[in-house]
């Protein structure tokens, strides 16, 4: 018995595997004769690396599920190969751009047929083109992996989550500490009246970058009596004492533990 098809290699992105399982359960030997497949053809003509690739088949039809489908391989360095309907090609490219970032991509249309076409370029350019143009025929999309050589920008949905800050953000927010007092190792600062020859130096934690003393309990409670909200209170103390918002937040919370801050 033989299994033949007029739509590419049997068993690739179709339920042909069920026929193989049934034949095996019945004790029949299963052999294969290589046939044409859009996966290998698209990889060969895409101009992208085929050393390691993942065939994803058809993505989900709804945008939310499709984005999750793509996000599973967002940080993988292997090339992605997908099949897609010409009616949903524009939506797929737009979601891939949002999740994966701007990568080198090839859109292969009607491979090995009379009107075959291969569009290569950046994912953003191809998304703009096929948002207005609907191709005819079968479509295979090849997208480069997470490799700087084939990427032009950071993925949109790969930014730092709300509430989290990168090291760069923290450095930009917190002002640099003043230089250490003479005779002390770097990163150590003395309180007023202390120094070499005046006892063991103690580290100063909350002094501002301009050398001023930290906000006192009186200053924090004064703002509290005025009914200042959380952000207004922190920004007021920041401008007055030159401290970063992170350090101020912990300090003010320590001073005003009983206050219920506004959101």
Band (247; pLDDT cuts 50, 70, 90) = low
Same-domain check for residues 43 and 153 = yes
Same-domain check for residues 63 and 142 = yes
Task: Give tens-digit pLDDT for 3-37.
Answer: 777 667 777 767 778 888 888 888 888 888 877 78
Report the number of distinct structural domains present in the chain. 2
Q: Examine residue 44 and state whether it is found in any structural domain, yes or no.
A: yes
Band (225; pLDDT cuts 50, 70, 90) = low
Task: Give tens-digit pLDDT for 178-212.
Answer: 555 555 555 444 455 544 545 555 544 444 444 44
Same-domain check for residues 261 and 211 = yes
Q: Which position has the higher pLDDT, 99 or 13? A: 99
Domain boundaries, position 102: 38-158
Q: Which position has the higher pLDDT, 245 or 122? A: 122
Same-domain check for residues 48 and 114 = yes
The vertex-107 CA angle with 64 and 77, nearest 5°, equals 65
Band (130; pLDDT cuts 50, 70, 90) = very high
Question: In this predicted structure, what is the pLDDT of residue 89?
Answer: 96
Question: In this predicted structure, what is the pLDDT of residue 23?
Answer: 86
Query: If you average pLDDT over residues 64-91, what whole number do you get?
Result: 95
Question: In this predicted structure, what is the pLDDT of residue 48?
Answer: 95
Band (152; pLDDT cuts 50, 70, 90) = confident
Same-domain check for residues 138 and 228 = no
Q: Crossing angle for the helix pair 230-241 and 217-225, nearest 10 degrees?
A: 140
Same-domain check for residues 170 and 69 = no
What is the pTM (predicted TM-score) of this model? 0.55
Q: Examine residue 234 and state whether it is found in any structural domain, yes or no.
A: yes
What is the radius of gyration, based on Cα positions, of the chain? 31
Can you give the CATH number for the domain in which 139 is found?
Answer: 3.30.950.10
pLDDT reading at 101 higher than 60: yes
Q: Crossing angle for the helix pair 245-255 and 230-241, nearest 10 degrees?
A: 110
What is the four-CA torsion angle of 30, 35, 36, 37, rounded to 10 degrees? 20
Same-domain check for residues 154 and 164 = no
The overall average pLDDT reported for the chain is 74
pLDDT reading at 65 higher than 90: yes
Q: CA-to-CA distance for 181 and 191, rounded, in angstroms?
A: 10
Lowest mean pLDDT among 118-127, 231-240, 241-250, 253-262: 253-262
């Amino acid at each position: 018995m033989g299994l033949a098809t007029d739509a590419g290699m049997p068993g690739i992105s179709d339920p042909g595997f069920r026929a193989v399982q049934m034949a095996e359960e019945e004790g029949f030997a299963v052999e294969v004769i290589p046939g044409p497949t859009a996966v290998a053809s698209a990889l060969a003509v895409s101009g992208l690396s085929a050393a390691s690739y993942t065939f994803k088949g058809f993505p989900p039809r709804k945008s939310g599920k499709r984005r999750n489908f793509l996000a599973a391989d967002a940080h993988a360095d292997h090339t992605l190969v997908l099949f897609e309907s010409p009616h949903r090609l524009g939506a797929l490219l737009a979601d891939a751009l949002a999740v994966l970032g701007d990568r080198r991509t090839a859109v292969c249309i009607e491979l090995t047929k009379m009107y075959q076409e291969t569009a290569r370029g950046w994912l953003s350019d191809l998304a703009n083109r096929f948002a207005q143009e609907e191709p005819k025929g079968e479509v295979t999309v090849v997208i480069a992996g997470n490799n700087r050589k084939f990427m032009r920008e950071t993925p949109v949905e790969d930014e730092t989550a709300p509430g989290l800050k990168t090291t760069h953000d923290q450095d930009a927010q917190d002002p640099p500490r003043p230089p250490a007092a003479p005779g002390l190792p770097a990163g150590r600062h003395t309180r007023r009246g202390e120094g070499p020859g005046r006892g063991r130096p103690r580290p100063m934690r909350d002094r501002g970058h301009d050398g001023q003393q930290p906000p006192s309990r009186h200053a924090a409670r004064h703002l509290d009596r005025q009914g200042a909200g959380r952000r207004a209170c922190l920004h007021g103390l920041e401008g007055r004492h030159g401290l970063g918002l992170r350090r101020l937040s912990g300090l003010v919370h320590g001073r005003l533990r009983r206050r219920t801050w506004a959101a």
